[in-house]
Structure 1
Amino acid sequence: MPGPIQSLERAAAILRLLAGGERRLGLSDVAASLGLAKATAHGILRTLQQEGFVEQDPDSGKYQLGAELLRLGQSYLDVHELRARALIWADDLARATGESVYLGVLHQRGVLIVHHVFRPDDARQVLDVGGMQPLHSTALGKVLVAHDPVARAELQASEREAFTPRTLTDLDAIDAESALTRERGWGAAVEETWTGLASVAALIQDRRQNPVGAVAVHGPVERICEAGAIRPELAIAVRQAARSISRDLGAPRF
């Protein structure tokens, strides 16, 4: 039986090293920690960087884990498990708010809707499971962009259509809103994709605290907003639902 491939073992050791400790290390630190020649360590790091598994800070020259690892980590969590864990909490959220609830995950430069709970009234509604929403102009997308480096990279590489006069398309403006989303723990979109509609969403994490999806409440502006701003009770309800789903997935409290 063939033995292990040394170069792969060394690459795995480098990834483990970057995953612990200070998480950002220089070439000399990596080589010394693993007992490798600098040339060997540099060659492996350069290959990992080309594949997206490692990133190099342009100012310090130090290395850290790359966004591609996060993409692979997300595949560890089956979307069906995410949906199964979210069913009860999504139903409860729809009943508590009286609005539609969506569960979305990052997929092909957009947000794939994997679960949709109708608002609890007798109005005719269309099931959106399997549909796609934009990253830059929906609450689900904004939450993923704010917390997921892969989503941010996908956004940068995609065309950002202005669906309404309120749609943000400038990357600097989107990054500023992402910082606000991380600070307050929820994201919002008011008439940025559909005139007359608004949504508020919060992040779902797995047991490794990776961003794996988002849950959102969606409805008419006059019911989602008050005096032009998201109603605080809706933002609180969405955050609580996201935390409950995350805990069911094994995430620590956050």
Structure 2
Amino acid sequence: MWFCRLRSPRLAMMWASSWCSPMRIDGRRPRARVAADMRGDFEISRIIASTFLTMSLCWDSSGSLIVAIGSSRATRVRESRAAPPHDQRQSRFGGRTMLRTRMADSTGSLRPVPAVEKTARILRALAEGGRPQGISELARALKVSKGTLRDILLTLDSHGFVVRDPDTRFRLGPQLRALADASSPDLRALAQPYLVSLMETFGETAILGVPHDGKLEIAARAEPTSGLHMSAPLGRRLPLDAGAHGKVLLHGEAIGYDDQELFRGVRAVAAAVTDARGRRVAAVMVVGFKERVDLRTLRRIGERCATAAVAMSRRIGAPARDEAVSA
């Protein structure tokens, strides 16, 4: 059985009735031809008429009109009794069973594309290997044929995703870095909700600092709208090897505390944000005057900074081993 989709019952019946109109062959009706041709024409007309008698109108689950064209009753009975394939659905109309194939754009299950899957495995193997590798070595490790592997590698080479060295070994290419940079989230936009939360919780200025040219640049901030508080102009640069941020970015501490070390009368606390490669790429900080932030409060703020830094690190793909931050 097969069926087609029409917009209205009127169009469906007009289309169906056109099948039963007298046939013209070479501009003449069948009776103008020889007896043999007439018998052939009659057989064609009989088939068309028989098909028309098996046609019916129904609506699918989306409400679209369908004209169903079936075979003889005996055949339909056999079809209705047969078990449908796993990837087909059944709908009934007037006691008749119609088999309908699932739409091709269904996203219910994953159907991997072999060539894409092999390409992903090749790129991952080159990345995890940490060095250029030859076709034979990769073929053994991935258990794929050398011919297929060679074709994929040369295609990737033409796009700059891998590079072929003079010794015919392959390594990752520069275009992968461009793709990675394009997919990296904007740390400034990512950090803003966390900075606002820290500022609103403790009433002090929250900062995102990013290392740049040997300095720490203030890339984002959240300042209280009233009351005495520290000001943090965007773009301002601080020494990278001092203060709370220096302790977490350069010295690897989980939480860095600054009790009037960088600026007199100012206390600060920082926690590092790590990227997918485990690098410490930014610092979440809170700064305030010593009269407003005692040492006990500074510890509490430090714990919240560490929690915010871990959450941000997850968002940019930090490894799981860097997610545990101890206070």
Q: TM-score, normalised by structure 2?
A: 0.41
| 1:195 maps to amino acid | R
Q: Is the 8 A contact 1:201 1:235 kept in 2?
A: yes
Q: Distance in 2 between matches of 1:133 and 1:109?
A: 9
- Whether 1:199 and 2:279 are equivalent positions in the alignment is no
Q: For residues 71-115 of structure 1, what are the alpha-carbon distances to aligned partners after superposition, in whole Å with 9 as ceiling and x for unaligned?
A: x99x94899800011111110111112111110111121101101
- State the SS of the aligned residue for 2:268: strand
Post-superposition offset of 1:199: 0.6
**1:148-163 map, 5 Å:** none
Which residue of structure 1 aligns with residue 303 of structure 2?
236
**1:111-122 map, 5 Å:** 111-119=216-224, 121-122=226-227
Which residue of structure 2 aligns with residue 247 of structure 1?
314
* Percent identity of paired positions between Structure 1 and Structure 2: 30
CA RMSD of aligned residues (A): 3.7
Q: Structure 2 regions of 5+ residues with no counterpart?
A: 1-124, 139-176
Which residue of structure 1 aligns with residue 190 of structure 2?
85
| 2:209 maps to amino acid | G
Q: Distance in 1 between matches of 2:206 and 2:283?
A: 11
Q: Is the 8 A contact 1:101 1:119 kept in 2?
A: no
Q: 1:219 aligns with which of 279, 283, 288?
A: 288
Structure with more contact order per residue of length (Cα contacts < 8 Å, sep ≥ 6)? 1
Q: Distance in 1 between matches of 2:243 and 2:207?
A: 11
Q: Is the 8 A contact 1:94 1:120 kept in 2?
A: no
Q: Looking at secondary structure, tell me which structure has more helix per residue.
A: 1
Q: Distance in 1 between matches of 2:302 and 2:182?
A: 26
Post-superposition offset of 1:210: 2.3
| 1:196 maps to amino acid | G
Q: Is the 8 A contact 2:205 2:230 kept in 1?
A: no
Q: Distance in 1 between matches of 2:238 and 2:275?
A: 22
Q: Is the 8 A contact 2:244 2:258 kept in 1?
A: yes
Q: Distance in 2 between matches of 1:127 and 1:247?
A: 26
Q: For residues 18-39 of structure 1, what are the alpha-carbon distances to aligned partners after superposition, in whole Å with 9 as ceiling and x for unaligned?
A: x747x8x9xxxx9xx99xxxxx
- State the SS of the aligned residue for 2:186: helix
Q: Is the 8 A contact 2:230 2:287 kept in 1?
A: no
| 2:187 maps to amino acid | L
Q: Distance in 2 between matches of 1:232 and 1:126?
A: 21
Q: Distance in 1 between matches of 2:227 and 2:274?
A: 33
- Whether 1:209 and 2:273 are equivalent positions in the alignment is no
Q: Is the 8 A contact 1:85 1:249 kept in 2?
A: no
Which residue of structure 1 aligns with residue 258 of structure 2?
189
Q: Is the 8 A contact 1:204 1:211 kept in 2?
A: yes
Larger Cα-atom Rg: 2
Post-superposition offset of 1:252: 4.1
| 2:249 maps to amino acid | L
Seen in structure 2, the aligned counterparts of structure 1 residues 187 and 78 have a Cα distance that, compared at 3 Å, is: farther
Seen in structure 2, the aligned counterparts of structure 1 residues 204 and 119 have a Cα distance that, compared at 3 Å, is: same
Q: Distance in 2 between matches of 1:92 and 1:143?
A: 21
Aligned residues between the structures: 160
Q: Structure 1 regions of 5+ residues with no counterpart?
A: 1-15, 35-71, 146-177
Q: For residues 41-89 of structure 1, what are the alpha-carbon distances to aligned partners after superposition, in whole Å with 9 as ceiling and x for unaligned?
A: xxxxxxxxxxxxxxxxxxxxxxxxxxxxxxx99x948998000111111
Q: Distance in 1 between matches of 2:246 and 2:185?
A: 20
Q: Is the 8 A contact 1:110 1:141 kept in 2?
A: no
Q: Distance in 1 between matches of 2:248 and 2:274?
A: 12
